[in-house]
Amino acid sequence: MQPPYDLVIANGRLSADCALGYVAIQGGLVAALGPMAEMPAGAVIIDAAGCLVMPGFVNCHNHAAMTLFRGLADDLPLMQWLTDHVFPAEARFVSPEMVYWCSKLAAAEMLLSGTTTVADGYFYEEQAAQAFADAGIRAVAAQGVIDFPAPGVADPAENINVARRFVTAWQGKSPLVTPAIFCHSPYTCRRETLVAAKQAAQEAGVPLFLHVAETAGEVAESRKQVGRTPMGYLHELGILDRDTVCVHGVWLSEADMDILAASGSPVVVCPESNMKLAAGIAPLPELLERGIGVGIGTDGCASNNNLDFLGEVARCALLHKGTRLDPTVLPAARLLTLAAEDGAACLGFGGQLGRLAPGYFADLIIVDLAHPRLTPFYGLATIIYAGAASQVRDVIVGGQVVVRERRCLTLDLAEVQARVREMAEQVKAGGGAPFPIAMETRNAGDEGDGVIEKGISAGPSRENPPA
């Protein structure tokens, strides 16, 4: 790669040491970077004076289309939240059109707040994948698999086939989208389904995601049903390896963490979702101590209720410091690598994504340091502890400028919002035709013997034990 480059960012403080420098981009990759005195010629120059240039955030868990249900019901016991609000709304309103527009809204929210890669899981995932490709956000888009009738998968016996077809259709289709499979959980998928999903993912060379050990109730139920923790059960099935991503991991035993460390399976923690729904607190420092791969995810907007990744990271840090009475836990520098490089490795992009370094994807954000909340600016910790999503000025994904001066260049935001608001009006009115679908099931914590489910679901999963 020789100058002139496709794009050069000039005069920014580069995140490695906050010194002024340039970043040259070519072919979607960071080609070179260095001090301003050595800046090469570039066809296009973005002036980043007064700004920090850093890797974009990697949001390792989302159900993007659930923006439609943001704030539909909050502060409720899980069962009431689900049965009275989320289930009926999802049963009526999940459609290909809904997944496209609501995922696109999520993409806009993520890009504008500095997220350049998202791992998503939902149904009609081809619509989500298309929305991500159109919006210009890098995505690992995973088709949901569950042993209930689901949107676009009326017959659960077809769930693996649908997922395979999705993966085949999207492999190589967009440079930004990696297809994958999201097996909902060990308590909503039978043993055969879990194994077949892993096999399908393995054959295609794509990641498999699962929700695992989110609530105490889920673990208790698993012990009752299969005599093992969810992690122990997945290990027994032989489906844990570097390409199987376990989402949540709130309730993990020492033995569970040994399994994770030995298998190489990464864990994605979702602190805000887990706090808001009162699932608990994942043992993030212990996971890191054991060298287990960790990424951070926002989860979907029904349970967070935003996709502000910087806020997620800061809350994650404060939560662990505060509950452990130790201010040294999760220092800012570690949080910054968790937010990008570690997350990238979880998603299979190790060595390619999440660093401001030559040869890495040019997935970068330019953060405006001019705001009072970033004044003074002694160093990078201020981004974590005082920064705000709104200070993300420009966003570049794969060398393409997708946000410039806080405006999304890749989509018509007014149109996207208008489409989602129209759907929200219908949700408020409670209309639409009910559809018997199932997704996002979740065990109860201390909610008695009922099985709590988050998101689309046809009924209690205990009627469909995992084995």
Q: How far apart are CA 256 and CA 263, in angstroms?
A: 11
Nearer to a second copy, 102 or 292 (CB): 102
| Nearest CA among 463, 466, 450 for reference residue 81 | 450
Phi/psi of residue 82, each to 5°?
-75, -55
Span 16-55, contacts to a second copy by CB under 8 A: none
Q: Minimum distance between the CB of residue 417 and a second copy, rounded to whole angstroms?
A: 5
Nearer to a second copy, 359 or 379 (CB): 379
Query: What does the block give as tokens for 330?
Result: 């999760």
Nearer to a second copy, 362 or 452 (CB): 452
Q: Choose one: 8-16, 38-46, 224-232, 423-431; the region binding a second copy (CB under 8 A).
A: 423-431
| Nearest CA among 399, 268, 282 for reference residue 342 | 268
Q: Minimum distance between the CB of residue 12 and a second copy, rounded to whole angstroms?
A: 18
Q: How far apart are CA 388 and CA 114, in angstroms?
A: 10
| Nearest CA among 96, 52, 28 for reference residue 353 | 28
Query: What does the block give as tokens for 456?
Result: 């689309």
Is residue 300 a contact point for a second copy (CB under 8 A)? no
In terms of DSSP bridges, do strands 138-145 and 208-212 run parallel, antiparallel, or are they unpaired? unpaired
Is residue 421 a contact point for a second copy (CB under 8 A)? yes
Span 209-238, contacts to a second copy by CB under 8 A: 216
Is residue 431 a contact point for a second copy (CB under 8 A)? no
Is residue 306 a contact point for a second copy (CB under 8 A)? yes
Nearer to a second copy, 153 or 397 (CB): 397
Q: Minimum distance between the CB of residue 243 and a second copy, rounded to whole angstroms?
A: 30
In terms of DSSP bridges, do strands 51-55 and 57-62 run parallel, antiparallel, or are they unpaired? unpaired
- Judge contact between 365 and 56, C-beta under 8 A: yes
Is residue 327 a contact point for a second copy (CB under 8 A)? yes
Edge-to-edge strand ranges of the sheet holding 177-183: 57-62, 115-122, 138-145, 177-183, 208-212, 244-248, 267-269, 294-296
- The four Cα atoms 333, 335, 336, 340 give a dihedral, to 10 degrees, of 150
- Judge contact between 183 and 439, C-beta under 8 A: no
Nearer to a second copy, 16 or 261 (CB): 16
Span 183-202, contacts to a second copy by CB under 8 A: none
Which one among 5, 57, 81, 132 touches a second copy, defined by CB under 8 A? 81
Q: Minimum distance between the CB of residue 382 and a second copy, rounded to whole angstroms?
A: 4
Half-sphere exposure of 448 (CA within 13 A, CB side): 4
Which one among 44, 47, 154, 324 touches a second copy, defined by CB under 8 A? 324
Is residue 313 a contact point for a second copy (CB under 8 A)? no
Half-sphere exposure of 31 (CA within 13 A, CB side): 19
Which one among 68, 167, 183, 395 touches a second copy, defined by CB under 8 A? 68
Query: What does the block give as tokens for 422?
Result: 């129209």
116: three-class secondary structure by DSSP: strand
Span 156-175, contacts to a second copy by CB under 8 A: none
Q: Minimum distance between the CB of residue 169 and a second copy, rounded to whole angstroms?
A: 28
Span 438-457, contacts to a second copy by CB under 8 A: 445-446
Which one among 38, 74, 289, 412 touches a second copy, defined by CB under 8 A? 74
Which one among 88, 96, 264, 280 touches a second copy, defined by CB under 8 A? 280
In terms of DSSP bridges, do strands 294-296 and 51-55 run parallel, antiparallel, or are they unpaired? unpaired
CA–CA distances in Å: residue 425 to residues 86, 103, 356, 430: 15, 18, 43, 9
Is residue 66 a contact point for a second copy (CB under 8 A)? no
Q: How far apart are CA 418 and CA 16, in angstroms?
A: 40
Q: Minimum distance between the CB of residue 226 and a second copy, rounded to whole angstroms?
A: 24
Span 336-355, contacts to a second copy by CB under 8 A: none
Q: How far apart are CA 458 and CA 441, in angstroms?
A: 9
Which one among 6, 90, 308, 453 touches a second copy, defined by CB under 8 A? 308
Nearer to a second copy, 16 or 281 (CB): 281
Quick one: DSSP state of residue 441? B
Which one among 40, 311, 358, 465 touches a second copy, defined by CB under 8 A? 311
Is residue 70 a contact point for a second copy (CB under 8 A)? yes
Is residue 103 a contact point for a second copy (CB under 8 A)? no
Which one among 26, 178, 263, 274 touches a second copy, defined by CB under 8 A? 274
Span 356-415, contacts to a second copy by CB under 8 A: 370, 372-373, 375-379, 381-382, 385-386, 388-390, 413
Q: Cis omega (within 30 of 0) on the bond before 376? A: yes
Nearer to a second copy, 277 or 345 (CB): 277
Q: Minimum distance between the CB of residue 95 and a second copy, rounded to whole angstroms?
A: 16
| Nearest CA among 408, 355, 349, 354 for reference residue 107 | 408
Is residue 331 a contact point for a second copy (CB under 8 A)? yes
